[in-house]
Amino acid sequence: MAIAKKKVTKPIAKKSVVTTKKVSAQKTENPSSDDFWKYAPAPESKDHVTLKEKYDLYIGGKFVKPNSGKYYETINPASGEVIAKIADGNEKDIHLAVTAARKAYDQHWGKLPGKERAKYIFRIARMMQERAREFAVIETMNGGKPIRESRDIDIPLAANHFFYYAGWADKLDYAFPNAKPKSLGVAGQIIPWNFPLLMAAWKLAPALATGNTVVLKPAESTPLTALKLAELIHDAGVPEGVVNIVTGFGPAGASLVNHPGIDKIAFTGSTPVGKYIQKAIAGTPKKATLELGGKAAHIIFDDAPIDQAVEGIVNGIFFNQGHVCCAGSRLFIQENVAELVIRKLKQRMKTLIVGDPMDKNTDIGAINSKEQMDKINQYIKIGIKEGAEIYQPECALPAKGFFCKPTLFLHTSQSHRIVQEEIFGPVLAVQTFRTLEEVIEKANNIPYGLSAGVWTDKGSKIFNLTTQLRAGVVWANTYNKFDPASPFGGYKESGFGREGGLHGLYPYVSLQS
């Protein structure tokens, strides 16, 4: 072997010099940054979408006018144009909805055998698949997320949740061995604006499968797919009052939480609102699951598959414009590979396409609302002021609508506000670390504990780490992967209770021996 090595290294050294000369001459003929091939616009068609000008509340199996008589406008955040008028529900509407849900529970749904409930839920799932394109387009129009994501992730996953929990409906006795699961009654559900249809599915599917009836309040800025879901549920022949959807603002949500007629509250949203709910239901028999904020540690070890890890970082923070409670927003890179990872990450960020969410090639769409845009911009200012090094690729942003370039902050530390606080945008704070112990300590050094990610080729390191990270979900060598069979939820100020999987049934039943 040694001889062979000796024999070749000499001529090769010579050769490689020759090659260098030759190729560098060629290199000058090939300018590397001209954009001579660009993707032509590939907008998804809106032709097959039917939207009404005005949407009412869905209560007791009927679309009814709001008590206030008032409607507000919902917009497309990518253009600012008004899409539809939405009923502004209030306390009285909530009361009607809860009453309708109670009636449906007492008279029909609560007594229906599981296999009969399953038929309705399977039907919802199938119809959602049939109408998937329409749902995807509306989700993108109303929320600003790229059509690629709503088409490939949000809508199929929402349908899968209904399929999955439909399967449990007649098997609950097996889900809870030696215990008799009993439905709770009426569930109040409040969902966020980042995954409007998917969150509705996460909440509705297990509630219906376990025999509860529901009053659902969508986020004020993204009510359209929930209202299309109301139409779908209506078309599916789900008995009246089983699902009620009341649109409106914060006060409507508060009335739902405080309504004495509900047995359970399920909330996904911000930590301050989660704290409010906790206080509001204290001393009542209401059960609750809260899925709140996060600031996930995304950890890259030096033995990681670096190219794939870079892809994971991109999916972790730029998926859905970073409007993801489990986004990998705190990046920890082992110091000996930090330079390499950051160089590759910057290169990859240059290829991200920011723009019209309806274009099939868009990677990063519109920021959901003006309020959120302002919040992100404020945090970017804070980051700069804190002295972190900002990096944004050069990319043109549309003139109208709310858009934000993918953003890195380098050389940050645990003391930076951009590291400590949830930004909920495409902004990644990057830190380096030296040892396993150090990164575990820092990863856990945050009031949140929703999710984390780890990249290493070493299986034992993954298991060592996952047992020590205080996070509800830990992804290994991937990020932002969701499946109906997998439980999701947080530790600490990220909330409690699990959604998805067998665990997702518990919050909707009381167990009797």
Stretch that binds another protein, among 8-16, 47-55, 105-113, 170-178 (CB under 8 A): 8-16
- Residue from 235, 371, 374, 457 binding another protein (CB under 8 A): 457
Question: In this complex, which beta carbon is closest to another protein, that of residue 2 or of residue 399?
Answer: 2
Show the site string, 356-395: x = touches another protein by CB under 8 A, - = not: ----xx----------------------------------
Taking CB under 8 A as the criterion, which residues in 253-292 touch another protein?
none
For 148-154, the CB contacts below 8 A with 24+ separation are: 148/360, 148/361, 148/362, 148/363, 149/319, 149/320, 149/365, 151/44, 153/482, 154/195, 154/197, 154/198
Show the site string, 407-446: x = touches another protein by CB under 8 A, - = not: ----------------------------------------
CB 316, min distance to another protein, A: 12
Strand, coil or helix: 429: strand
- Residue from 94, 158, 229, 304 binding another protein (CB under 8 A): 304
34 binds another protein (CB under 8 A): yes
Quote the CA–CA distance of 245 and 93 in Å, as a whole number. Answer: 10
CB 98, min distance to another protein, A: 43
30 binds another protein (CB under 8 A): yes
What CA–CA distances, in Å, run from 246 to 58, 261, 277, 331?
Answer: 6, 15, 18, 39
Taking CB under 8 A as the criterion, which residues in 38-77 touch another protein?
38-42
Sign of CA dihedral 172, 174, 175, 178: positive
Question: Can you count the helices (H) and strands (E) in the chain?
Answer: 17, 20
> Do the Cβ atoms of 191 and 199 come closer than 8 Å?
yes
**Catalytic status, residue 395:** no
Stretch that binds another protein, among 23-31, 130-138, 153-161, 328-336 (CB under 8 A): 23-31
> Do the Cβ atoms of 490 and 335 come closer than 8 Å?
no
What CA–CA distances, in Å, run from 230 to 62, 130, 211, 432?
Answer: 10, 15, 18, 48
CB 36, min distance to another protein, A: 6
Question: In this complex, which beta carbon is closest to another protein, that of residue 104 or of residue 342?
Answer: 342
Q: Tokens in use for 181?
A: 């699961």
Show the site string, 463-482: x = touches another protein by CB under 8 A, - = not: --------------xx----
- Give the number of other CB atoms < 10 A from CB of residue 69: 8
396 binds another protein (CB under 8 A): no
CB 314, min distance to another protein, A: 10
**Catalytic status, residue 325:** yes
Euclidean distance between the first and final Cα of the chain, in Å? 73
Size of the site for another protein (CB under 8 A): 47
Q: What are phi and psi of 388, to 5 degrees?
A: -75, 150
CB 304, min distance to another protein, A: 7
For residues 96-118, one letter each, b for 16 or more C-beta atoms within 10 angstroms of the residue's C-beta and e for the rest, the string is bbbbbbbbbbeeebbebebeebb
Q: Tokens in use for 505?
A: 């049934």
174 binds another protein (CB under 8 A): no
35 binds another protein (CB under 8 A): yes
Burial class of residue 395, CB neighbours in 10 A (0-12, 13-18, 19+): middle
**Rg value, the chain, Cα:** 25
Stretch that binds another protein, among 10-18, 168-176, 193-201, 234-242 (CB under 8 A): 10-18
**Residue from 291, 422, 493, 499 carrying the catalytic annotation:** 291
The three-point CA angle 372-376-381 to 5° equals 145
- Residue from 25, 37, 415, 460 binding another protein (CB under 8 A): 37
CB 128, min distance to another protein, A: 21
DSSP H helices, 36-113, are 91-107
486 binds another protein (CB under 8 A): no
**Residue from 325, 326, 404, 499 carrying the catalytic annotation:** 325
26 binds another protein (CB under 8 A): yes
336 binds another protein (CB under 8 A): no
On the CB side of 372, CA atoms within 13 Å amount to: 26
- Residue from 91, 170, 311, 421 binding another protein (CB under 8 A): 311
Are β-strands 451-455 and 473-476 bridged in parallel, bridged antiparallel, or unpaired?
A: parallel
CB 81, min distance to another protein, A: 24
Question: In this complex, which beta carbon is closest to another protein, that of residue 41 or of residue 272?
Answer: 41
31 binds another protein (CB under 8 A): yes
28 binds another protein (CB under 8 A): no
What CA–CA distances, in Å, run from 445 to 68, 326, 479, 497?
Answer: 46, 16, 21, 22
Quote the CA–CA distance of 267 and 208 in Å, as a whole number. Answer: 16
Residue numbers annotated as active site: 291, 325
**Binding footprint of another protein on the chain (CB under 8 A):** 1, 4-5, 7-9, 11-12, 15-16, 19-20, 23-24, 26-27, 30-42, 148, 152, 303-309, 311-312, 343, 351, 360-361, 457, 477-478
